[in-house]
């Protein structure tokens, strides 16, 4: 996930390079951050990026929570909202593909602020939609902003984190998305009976727009991005001095990020040096995981409502998918760090059983709620763990490309998932058959992860980056 990481730990230059007398000293930004403990400044930045993902998660899932009431209000047939769900996910995919590379040219902060404003305006406008055609267009445009915000929040958090804590900090920040998505269900459950479904989008649009001025004022630019540009030494020094006030950096200090250049087409390196099978298996994991996640998150409230649950109860129970995801993200970190793809395979295997159990529960609310929580624990937690494992699979020179393409393939799965759910509902599949079908993608992800685990006895598909203990120069 780190778009501008240095060379492997243990082989990189020291934070302060030796320079001739009278010359301005050069500071390796990556080593400077790696050699210091996480401070309040980095925690505040993590919380700011988590806030972006919080409103991102709320707005991404809002359409799923209002779907049952929207279908009733507009007298739509079952499955009619499938194109609406997929339009938003298509926007997410294109937004990530376009705004990720653009941030490498103009900076993380600008894209985060602009994307947050864009999806806030799009969500607000959705409250005034009058038909499915307008709804499809608005969800696509909103998705562009949502897709641009997430990868840049991840990049910014990663680029301010020491390597030894990077995965933990990124996964913690990612909890903002799951909390926002889960809280969206609870807010929808409270708002819809009192004010109607449009109120959910009014709240979902106002929150990110209120966040924009704070982000523009307080969010720093990535020091690694600034150092790579080679034209902002003073700005880098000012930011690092605020982040590490006990580490004075005199005027005239030069900053650099030492990273190898990638010759030729970066994507080609995903299939070179024996990585083709690993890359294809990772794509299977991402595609199947996100297909299942968005199948469930978009259609669970509707299916629960069809089983007799009230709109409020369906939204509240559906939100347990994301609550489980938060718990899974926090819990699985050490397990994944220790057992790598073996742990991921087990996680998705349990997910397949949990998804099938949702359908087997039928009208029994408590067993269904427990199964939904467990499915969220494994699928959401597994997906975030997949991001971290993909980052350790590829060498630095193709890491961002490897993760970006895996997420792009995964976004294709997230588009397919709601369409498949809509098609099955339109054909009047039983609840049990529907969730048995939904268990298949999780099982496919488990098998692909198991194949990756067998690539080496440790359960890792490629050598993982080593870390060194923090030392103060």
**341 and 412 both lie in a single domain:** yes
Mean pLDDT, residues 324-340 taken together: 79
The half-sphere exposure of 363 on its side-chain side, counting CA atoms within 13 A, is: 5
Edge-to-edge strand ranges of the sheet holding 254-256: 16-17, 26-28, 254-256
pLDDT at residue 50, rounded to an integer: 93
Total-model pTM:
0.74
Quick check: is 95 in a domain? Answer: yes
Q: Which helix (H) or strand (E) element contains residue 27?
A: strand 26-28
Q: Which helix (H) or strand (E) element contains residue 390?
A: helix 365-393
Question: Using one digit for the tens of pLDDT, what is the confidence trace for 3-35?
Answer: 434 334 444 444 554 444 444 567 888 888 888
Q: Is the dihedral of CA 416, 420, 426, 427 positive or negative?
A: positive
In this structure, are strands 16-17 and 254-256 parallel, antiparallel, or unpaired? unpaired
Q: Mind spelling out the 3-state secondary structure of 157-197? A: HHHCCCHHHHHHHHHHHHHHHHHHHHHHHHHHHHHHHHHCC
Q: Mark which of 217, 237, 259 sits at the end of a domain.
A: 259
CB 60 within 8 A of CB 188: no
**Residue of 215 and 429 predicted with greater confidence:** 215
Please indicate, yes or no, whether residues 312 and 297 belong to a single structural domain of this protein.
Answer: yes
Instruction: Tell me the range of 145-154, 155-164, 341-350, 451-460 where mean pLDDT is highest.
Output: 341-350
Query: Length of the chain in residues, anyone?
Result: 473
Confidence check: pLDDT of 450 > 90 = yes
Range name among 246-255, 285-294, 396-405, 437-446 with the lowest pLDDT average: 396-405
- The C-alpha R_g of the chain, in whole angstroms, comes to 22
Same domain, 253 and 272: no
Helices (H) then strands (E): counts for the chain: 15, 3
Give 303 or 90, the one with higher predicted confidence: 90
| Contact assessment for residue 446 and residue 385, using Cβ atoms and an 8 Å cutoff | no
- Are residue 203 and residue 81 in the same domain, yes or no? yes
Confidence band, pLDDT 50/70/90 cuts, at residue 1: very low
Which is more confidently placed, 109 or 414? 109
Q: Which of 234, 259, 284 is the last residue of a domain?
A: 259
For the chain, report the end-to-end CA distance as a whole number of angstroms: 27
213-228 residue pLDDT tens = 999 998 998 887 788 7
Q: Is 296 a member of any domain?
A: yes
* Residue pair 318/185 in contact by the 8 Å Cβ criterion: yes
26-28 and 254-256 beta bridge pairing: parallel
Residue 201 banded pLDDT, cuts 50, 70, 90: very high
> In angstroms, what CA-CA distances link 342 with 165, 345, 389, 461?
22, 5, 11, 10
Question: Domain check: are 73 and 179 in the same one?
Answer: yes
Token pair 């500071």 is found at 27
Q: Name the residue with higher pLDDT: 180 or 361.
A: 180
What proportion of the chain, given as a percentage, has pLDDT over 90? 23
Same domain, residue pair 392 and 438: yes
Q: Is the pLDDT of residue 394 over 70?
A: no
Same domain, 189 and 290: no
What digits encode the pLDDT tens for the residues 171-184? 788 888 878 877 88
In whole angstroms, give the CA distance from residue 195 to residue 67: 15
Average pLDDT, the chain: 79
**Residue 138 domain-assigned?**
yes
Assign residue 123 the CATH number of its domain: 1.20.1250.20
Per the domain annotation, does 10 fall within a domain? no
Our count of domains for the chain comes to 2
Full domain range(s) for residue 367: 263-460
Q: Are residues 66 and 104 in the same domain?
A: yes
Q: Is 28 helix (H, G, I), strand (E, B) or coil?
A: strand
- Could you give the count of Cα atoms lying within 13 Å of 408 in the half-sphere of its Cβ? 17
Q: Band of the pLDDT at 266, cuts 50, 70, 90?
A: low
**What are 168's two structure tokens?**
């933990």
Cα–Cα distance for residue pair 73/362, rounded to 1 Å:
26
Query: Does residue 465 fall inside a structural domain?
Result: no
Is the pLDDT reported for residue 425 higher than 90? no
Residue 15 in domain: no
pLDDT of residue 10: 41
Domain for residue 3, yes or no? no
Q: What is the pLDDT of residue 298?
A: 73
Percentages of the chain per state (helix, strand, coil), in multiples of 5: 75, 0, 25
Specify the pLDDT at position 207: 94
Q: Is the pLDDT of residue 140 over 90?
A: yes
Distance, in Å, from the CA atom of 340 to the CA atom of 332, rounded to the nearest integer, reads: 10
CA distance 241 to 163: 20
Given this model, what pLDDT does residue 17 score? 44
pLDDT at residue 127 greater than cutoff 80: yes
Residues 169/38, Cβ–Cβ less than 8 Å? yes
Q: Is there a single domain that holds both residue 159 and residue 281?
A: no
* Residue 438 domain-assigned (yes or no): yes
Q: Are residues 204 and 271 in the same domain?
A: no
Element (H, E) at 254: strand 254-256
pLDDT in tens, 73-125: 888 886 678 788 778 878 888 887 777 667 767 778 998 999 999 999 999 99
Q: Are residues 311 and 178 in the same domain?
A: no
Of 308 and 330, which is predicted with more confidence?
330
Residues 417, 331 share a domain: yes
Last-in-domain residue among 204, 231, 259: 259
């Amino acid at each position: 996930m780190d778009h501008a990481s240095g060379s492997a730990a243990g082989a990189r230059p020291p934070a302060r390079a030796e320079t001739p007398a009278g010359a301005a000293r050069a500071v390796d930004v990556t080593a400077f951050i790696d050699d210091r403990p996480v401070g309040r400044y980095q925690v505040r930045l993590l919380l700011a990026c988590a806030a972006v993902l919080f409103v991102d998660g709320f707005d991404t899932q809002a359409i799923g929570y209002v779907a049952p009431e929207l279908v009733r209000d507009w007298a739509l047939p079952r499955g009619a909202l499938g194109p609406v769900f997929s339009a938003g996910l298509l926007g997410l995919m294109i937004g990530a593909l376009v705004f990720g590379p653009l941030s490498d040219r103009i900076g993380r902060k600008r894209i985060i602020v602009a994307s947050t404003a864009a999806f806030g305006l799009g969500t607000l406008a959705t409250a005034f939609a009058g038909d499915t055609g307008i709804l499809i267009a608005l969800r696509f445009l909103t998705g562009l902003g949502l897709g641009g915000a997430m990868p840049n929040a991840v990049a910014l958090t990663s680029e301010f984190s020491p390597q030894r804590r990077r995965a933990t900090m990124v996964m913690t920040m990612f909890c903002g998305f799951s909390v926002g998505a889960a809280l969206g269900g609870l807010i929808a459950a409270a708002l819809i009976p009192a004010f109607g479904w449009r109120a959910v989008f009014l709240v979902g649009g106002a929150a990110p727009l209120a966040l924009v001025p704070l982000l523009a004022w307080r969010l720093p630019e990535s020091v690694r991005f600034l150092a790579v540009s080679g034209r902002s030494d003073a700005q880098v020094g000012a930011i690092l001095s605020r982040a590490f006030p006990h580490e004075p950096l005199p005027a005239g200090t030069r900053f650099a990020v030492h990273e190898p250049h990638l010759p030729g087409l970066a994507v080609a390196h995903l299939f070179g040096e024996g990585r083709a099978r690993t890359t294809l298996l990772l794509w299977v994991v991402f595609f199947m995981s996100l297909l299942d996640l968005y199948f469930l998150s978009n259609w669970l409230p509707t299916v629960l409502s069809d089983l007799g649950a009230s709109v409020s109860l369906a939204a509240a129970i559906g939100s347990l998918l994301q609550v489980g995801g938060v718990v899974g993200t926090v819990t699985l970190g050490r397990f994944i760090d220790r057992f790598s793809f073996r742990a991921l395979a087990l996680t998705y295997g349990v997910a397949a059983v949990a998804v099938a159990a949702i359908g087997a529960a039928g009208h029994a609310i408590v067993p269904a709620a427990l199964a939904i929580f467990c499915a969220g624990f494994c699928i959401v937690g597994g997906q975030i763990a997949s991001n971290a494992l993909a980052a350790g699979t590829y060498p630095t020179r193709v890491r961002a490309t490897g993760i970006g393409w895996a997420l792009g393939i995964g976004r294709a799965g997230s588009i397919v998932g709601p369409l498949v759910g809509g098609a099955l509902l339109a054909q009047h599949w039983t609840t049990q058959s529907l969730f048995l079908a939904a268990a298949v993608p999780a099982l496919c992800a488990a098998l692909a992860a198991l194949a990756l685990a067998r690539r080496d006895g440790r359960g890792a598909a490629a050598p993982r980056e080593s870390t060194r203990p923090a030392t103060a120069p």
